[in-house]
Amino acid sequence: TLLVTADQVVVHQGDVREKPESEAEARAFIASYGESPARTVGAIVVTDLDTGRRVASGDSSEVHFSPIPPEVVDFLISEGECFHCAGGLMVEHPKIYPLVTKLDGSLDSIMGLSKQVMGRLLLEAIVNRQKEGTGPHI
């Protein structure tokens, strides 16, 4: 059995941002992304529960936005989903995505889980199991 754990933060102008704790904080976070880029920093760990062996990797991407209009900020806050995202960052949202001007990295990485990194770690964990004679053959 393989267990996948992951987490992500947003870094903006050197400040580490978790989920916003208030409407004021969410408003400030979201509006600031239209002023300077946001970087997501994530980590993924795959643990083989049978052997205890772990493989891990970090991932980082950066997104640039044009200025985010106050009515978009208001909409996101009233909708409430931004309170469940690191830094209140919801790049995939239909109101935000058209404001993306540049993406350094991948969209799935910005959204919280890089498919490329995840696939590489799962493959590495499976290969490790095969080398130890405890896993399925591919």
Residues classed as catalytic:
7
Q: Are 110 and 40 in contact (CB under 8 A)?
A: yes
For residue 5 the two structure tokens come to 């754990």
Distance between CA 91 and CA 101 in Å, rounded? 11
The whole-angstrom separation of Cα 63 and Cα 138 is: 37
Please name which of 22, 25, 23, 20 lies closest in space to residue 9, comparing C-alpha atoms: 20
| Alpha-carbon dihedral angle through residues 28, 33, 34, 39, given to the nearest 10 degrees | 170
- HSE of 76 in the Cβ direction (CA atoms, 13 Å)? 31
Give the bridge partners for 59, in sequence order: 42
